[in-house]
């Protein structure tokens, strides 16, 4: 029973080079992400009533799930949701990748300027100790906010809608950058798919 499945990438494994190398993408998508999907499906195998729920529903109500599957759903459902967003919000730089006027305005309002956003996001990603994610989210007041989460926790668990995420687990960068997480974070800004982030923003605002 495979309720959840691995999404296909919208680009080739080597399309993000040199920012993210081919081998990292192959392992990250084909092994790490696939394992989250496989383990999520295994956790839901004996819970037919939960199989039709969306990942967002499952994670937003994690406390109401049977105790025995809360941790596997949190880790693997979170892993599946986080990576599914990650593949959407990165893309080869095309030169025709502008953010929408609405998102630009919201970023200026929340962070003063794009540079202010970049600084805040970089700090969140750099200072997340161990494994986790840095996020740009739409919060409960429909305003933008940057923060980070540990492990595979997704902002939906805090009632926030992620519109941009950066994976700072070592598996996301170690082959190419080793311990140089700050360099990986700095380069990440050149492969953000602002069109996709803008669409996610519009959806989150409603």
Q: Provide the binding-site residues for Mn ion, judged by CB under 5 A.
A: 167, 169, 172
Angle at 185 between CA 111 and CA 182, to 5 degrees: 110
Q: Which residue number places its CB atom closest to Mn ion?
A: 167
Burial environment of residue 18 by CB neighbours within 10 A (0 to 12, 13 to 18, 19 or more):
exposed
Q: With respect to Mn ion, which residue has the nearer C-beta, 50 or 157?
A: 157
Contact criterion met (CB below 8 Å) for 3 and 76:
no
Q: With respect to Mn ion, which residue has the nearer C-beta, 83 or 160?
A: 83
What are residue 123's phi and psi, to 5 degrees?
A: -65, -45
Smallest separation (angstroms) from Mn ion to the CB of 79: 7
Smallest separation (angstroms) from Mn ion to the CB of 167: 4
Smallest separation (angstroms) from Mn ion to the CB of 87: 10
Smallest separation (angstroms) from Mn ion to the CB of 133: 9
Smallest separation (angstroms) from Mn ion to the CB of 28: 6
Distance from C-alpha of 84 to C-alpha of 33, rounded to nearest angstrom: 8
Q: What one-character DSSP code corresponds to residue 199?
A: H
Q: With respect to Mn ion, which residue has the nearer C-beta, 157 or 205?
A: 157
82 contact partners, CB below 8 Å, separation of at least 6: 133, 152, 154, 162, 165, 167
Q: With respect to Mn ion, which residue has the nearer C-beta, 28 or 160?
A: 28
Q: With respect to Mn ion, which residue has the nearer C-beta, 117 or 133?
A: 133
């Amino acid at each position: 029973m495979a309720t959840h499945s691995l999404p296909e990438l919208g680009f080739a494994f080597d399309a993000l080079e040199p920012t993210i190398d081919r081998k990292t993408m192959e392992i990250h998508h084909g092994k790490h992400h696939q394992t989250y999907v496989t383990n999520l499906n295994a956790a839901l195998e004996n819970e037919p009533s939960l199989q039709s729920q969306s990942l967002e529903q499952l994670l937003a109500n994690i406390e109401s799930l049977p105790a025995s599957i809360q941790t596997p759903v949190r880790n693997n459902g979170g892993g599946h949701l986080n990576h599914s967003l990650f593949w959407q919000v990165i893309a080869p730089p095309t030169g025709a990748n502008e953010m929408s006027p609405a998102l630009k305005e919201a970023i200026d309002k929340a962070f003063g300027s794009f540079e202010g956003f970049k600084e805040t996001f970089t700090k969140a990603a750099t200072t997340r100790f161990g494994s986790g994610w840095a996020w740009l989210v739409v919060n409960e007041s429909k305003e933008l906010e940057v923060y980070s989460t540990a492990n595979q926790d997704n902002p939906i668990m805090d009632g926030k809608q992620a519109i941009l995420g950066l994976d700072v687990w070592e598996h996301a960068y170690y082959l190419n950058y080793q311990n140089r997480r700050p360099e990986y974070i700095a380069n990440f800004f050149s492969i953000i798919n602002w069109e996709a982030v803008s669409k996610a923003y519009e959806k989150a605002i409603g």
